[in-house]
Amino acid sequence: MQADFWNDKRPAGVSCDVDLKAYSSVVEVFERCCKKFADRPAFSNMGVTLSYAELERHSAAFAAYLQQNTDLAPGDRIAVQMPNLLQYPIAVFGAMRAGLIVVNTNPLYTAREMRHQFKDSGARALVYLNMFGKHVQEVLPDTDLQYLIEVRMGDMQPTFKGWLINTIVAKVKKMVPDYQLPQAVSFKSVLKLGAQRSHQPVPQSLEDIAVLQYTGGTTGLAKGAMLTHGNLVANMQQVYACMLQQRPDGGTWFEEGKEVMIAPLPLYHIYAFTANCMCMMISGNHNVLITNPRDISGFIKELHKWRFTAMIGLNTLFVALMNHPQFKTLDFSRLKSTNSGGTALVKATAERWEQITGCRIVEGYGLTETSPVASANPYGEAARLGTVGIPVPGTLMKVINDDGVEMPLGERGELCVKGPQVMKGYWNRAEATAESLDAEGWFKTGDIAVIDPDGFVRIVDRKKDLIIVSGFNVYPNEIEDVVMGHPKVANCACIGVPDERSGEAVKLFVVARDASLNVEDLKAFCKENFTGYKVPRHIVLRESLPMTPVGKILRRELRDNA
């Protein structure tokens, strides 16, 4: 599709391109915005609000500690593993200011999943919440980790309240299993020691890697997408350009420094990382971090405290909120934007949300490999349900057939994306990079799409066997590889089945090697080896599995029967 095809299809106020030379790195964006919005609130969480100036000060202390108290050098990897807490942006921006590459890590990972990610990335440092210390102790000998920084829930609270929170979490709720990591340094002491030193600016370019964002691997192992400073800065600017869409009254959809954004999705996930950690900077937004969005009552209680203007989420979360009796009592008078991504938005969910809140959900599309936003719907009345909108400024899309030939408008094919937000490649995976990224910079998404004549894009199917559970990618190969390690399993196959709550759920078919194998054994084995969203919700024991003449399992046949 030609670059100018979408130019006349963008809403008023949204430019057709972005100035990719406006900033030299994520760090420059961060430092400039912290100066510009110094007095404004940046992040709030658990009753504490950090201004942009305070965020800048704490992250500088964190960077200074890394530079003066460790031998970490620019380009070294630091893993960050915690839920949505104020400590998260401090650690991430502090690490970037020290020139390190951030490895975002899901705190709910099992030891097996952590071990792979830390070994693959070669991370030398880890910032983790003490609740996960037991797993850290378990995997430590198999990794290159030398420096451990331990976060506690109450770190950013006033002294007494912080002590109280930490005591309740550890002693009353017993959420901190016993472990021994005497070499770990506390997050509070890192900030204290770092504040006594000055951090040294590190020269960085748009070509440098900023983040290793792991995405499920079709081979069963997660791959690290190398997202450069240029990728992230471009995506920030692309999303910000969309936020400048004109309202019917002539003003812009979003006002600089005036938005209160609710952030319930985990910041370690690329969608929230870019939306709530990166894009908020350019526009001086205030982000309210929700640490445990599964506690819907607590979440709604927090929403009562704010006159929020924007929120990002996904289908599962919207349904859970609307099903709570207290949701209707919230003040939605200032809510003007609800963004959905990560998994398909169900039409009934969108209609019910608009009916209750008066705000239309707009759906976009993206992948880890595209930093992540590739397309977005216009805001308000112009949003089109059932589509993922049009490519964000500076982005091209096309659909191709199995021979790589571009298909005409209205025809189905594999969606390909090209733009400044497309990753540099997969970390240490030249072959996998070459398979998905061609010499011209087109990234093959693995999704089947239709580009309509009016420029709107519809995702209609999936080429890969990927399963999406509540916005998280689950790769059947990974599940099958691990389950095949069970001594009583002869063969297995994994598919995704529709699920009202999570969009899709994992279904596992198993052929037993030993007649004593039962479903409960398998469930326990899976819980030990997979983080929650990957654990099969349905397990079926079978005599045999459908196969091709050469012995390849026919997942499609299992899906059709299911």
Residues 403 and 487 in one domain: no
Residues 454 and 519 in one domain: no
Region of poorest pLDDT, from 211-225, 226-240, 521-535: 211-225
Cα–Cα distance for residue pair 526/485, rounded to 1 Å: 11
The whole-angstrom distance between residue 119's C-alpha and the CA centroid of its chain comes to: 21
Burial of 348 (0-12, 13-18, 19+ CB in 10 A): exposed
Percent of the chain residues topping a pLDDT of 90: 82
Cα–Cα distance for residue pair 63/562, rounded to 1 Å: 52
Residues 454 and 483 in one domain: no
pLDDT of residue 460: 84
Residues 6+ apart with CB under 8 A from 513: 487, 488, 489, 490
pLDDT of residue 216: 62
Domain housing 411: 395-462
Higher pLDDT, 80 or 485: 80
Domain count, the chain: 3
pLDDT digit string (tens) for 135-180?
A: 999 999 999 999 999 999 999 999 999 999 999 999 999 999 999 9
The whole-angstrom distance between residue 147's C-alpha and the CA centroid of its chain comes to: 25
In a domain, 442, yes or no: yes
Residue that finishes a domain, picked among 406, 435, 462 = 462
Residue that finishes a domain, picked among 204, 235, 257 = 204
Q: Please provide the average confidence, as pLDDT, over all residues in the chain.
A: 94
Residues 551 and 456 in one domain: no
Are 458 and 449 spatial neighbours (Cβ–Cβ below 8 Å)? yes
Q: Which long-range contacts (CB under 8 A, 24 or more apart) does 29-36 make?
A: 29/233, 29/236, 29/278, 29/281, 29/282, 30/56, 30/59, 30/93, 30/96, 30/97, 30/281, 31/56, 31/97, 33/281, 33/282, 33/284, 34/281, 36/284
pLDDT-derived band at 550 (thresholds 50, 70, 90) equals low
Average pLDDT, stretch 30-42? 97
In a domain, 345, yes or no: no
pLDDT of residue 135: 97
CATH number at residue 414: 2.30.38.10
Element (H, E) at 352: helix 347-357
In a domain, 138, yes or no: yes
pLDDT of residue 346: 79
pLDDT digit string (tens) for 396-437?
A: 999 999 899 999 999 989 999 999 999 999 999 999 999 999
Residues 405 and 457 in one domain: yes
Average pLDDT, stretch 81-93? 98
pLDDT-derived band at 548 (thresholds 50, 70, 90) equals low
Cα–Cα distance for residue pair 67/523, rounded to 1 Å: 45
Residues 433 and 488 in one domain: no
Residues 487 and 518 in one domain: yes
pLDDT digit string (tens) for 345-391?
A: 878 889 999 999 999 999 999 999 999 999 999 999 899 998 999 99
pLDDT digit string (tens) for 484-539?
A: 889 999 889 999 999 988 889 999 999 998 999 999 999 999 999 999 999 999 99
Residues in a beta bridge with 150? 128, 186
In a domain, 445, yes or no: yes
In a domain, 54, yes or no: yes
In a domain, 389, yes or no: no
pLDDT-derived band at 288 (thresholds 50, 70, 90) equals very high
Flag whether pLDDT at 218 surpasses 50.
no
CATH number at residue 136: 3.40.50.980
Are 325 and 297 spatial neighbours (Cβ–Cβ below 8 Å)? no
Cα–Cα distance for residue pair 245/465, rounded to 1 Å: 36
pLDDT of residue 345: 84
Average pLDDT, stretch 550-559? 77
pLDDT digit string (tens) for 325-358?
A: 999 999 999 999 999 987 778 788 899 999 999 9
Residues 435 and 513 in one domain: no
Residue that finishes a domain, picked among 186, 204, 222 = 204
pLDDT of residue 114: 96
Residues 532 and 404 in one domain: no
Flag whether pLDDT at 466 surpasses 90.
no
Flag whether pLDDT at 63 surpasses 90.
yes
Average pLDDT, stretch 529-550? 89
CATH number at residue 543: 3.30.300.30
Look up the pTM and report it: 0.90
Residues 98 and 135 in one domain: yes
Residues 68 and 198 in one domain: yes
Are 10 and 192 spatial neighbours (Cβ–Cβ below 8 Å)? no
Average pLDDT, stretch 208-234? 88
The whole-angstrom distance between residue 59's C-alpha and the CA centroid of its chain comes to: 21
Average pLDDT, stretch 282-289? 95
Cα–Cα distance for residue pair 205/433, rounded to 1 Å: 22
Flag whether pLDDT at 205 surpasses 80.
yes
Q: If you search the block for the tokens 């992230």, which residue do you land on? A: 232
